[in-house]
Amino acid sequence: MNNELSLTGKTALVTGASGGIGSAIVERLIKAGASVALHYHTSEERVLQLQKLYGDNICYLTRADFADTQSVQEVLDDVWSWKQKIDILINNAALIEPVESIDNISEQDLIKAMQVNFIAPFLLAKKVLQKMNHEGYGRIISISSIAVKYAGSPQMAHYMASKAALEAGMLALAKHAATSGVLVNVVRAGVTKTDAHQRIGRDDLSARESLIPIGRAADPSEIAEVVAFLVSPLNTYMTGAIVPVAGGE
């Protein structure tokens, strides 16, 4: 292990840990020495595999539906009871529900997207930040999408708007936390090889990959490596940044 990237003794909370990017981040943080709480909602197969692989002392599972605001405090209390600290928060959980056209985006679609993709992670970060401020140390990373740069497709306007709100909220938190030893950053993930594409009806990535300057989609591990740097001891000054990991897009 590179000692400069060591997270030995640190406790992390990764939301949306059952997804491709989330599980890759979990494994990278564990590789660096961290104990990791894995949040999930409905898909538990992958988080159970990780817990079995690394053990209960390294992996702690917490389930919640972030469409319910109360779940934010419940997750925080649950994870805190495990190690009595949270040094690293990775806001990765997200709701992606494309519709047929922008005309089909309902008020409820907007509310739900904002709740899961902005309100819940913002409240979680704000609450964790209060605890981190007390300790004088912490790292908060929120995963956004490169599509925010282009406003995305009309069928996903509600998703893009919620991610744009997340970015703005994290930049404000970064300024608030800047003198407390807590660094807050955003990673704009590009097209990444995960099961999420199949869930939204995108079975063939080749056309989308042709638009990426590097010419291919990212592997989840490539997103995880950037996250690992941002939460590592190597990062001592970088905060309030939106970091694109998108192959040149």
Which sequence positions are flagged as catalytic?
A: 159
* Phi (first) and psi of residue 190, to 5 degrees: -85, -165
Give the separation between CA 249 and CA 233, rounded to whole angstroms: 28
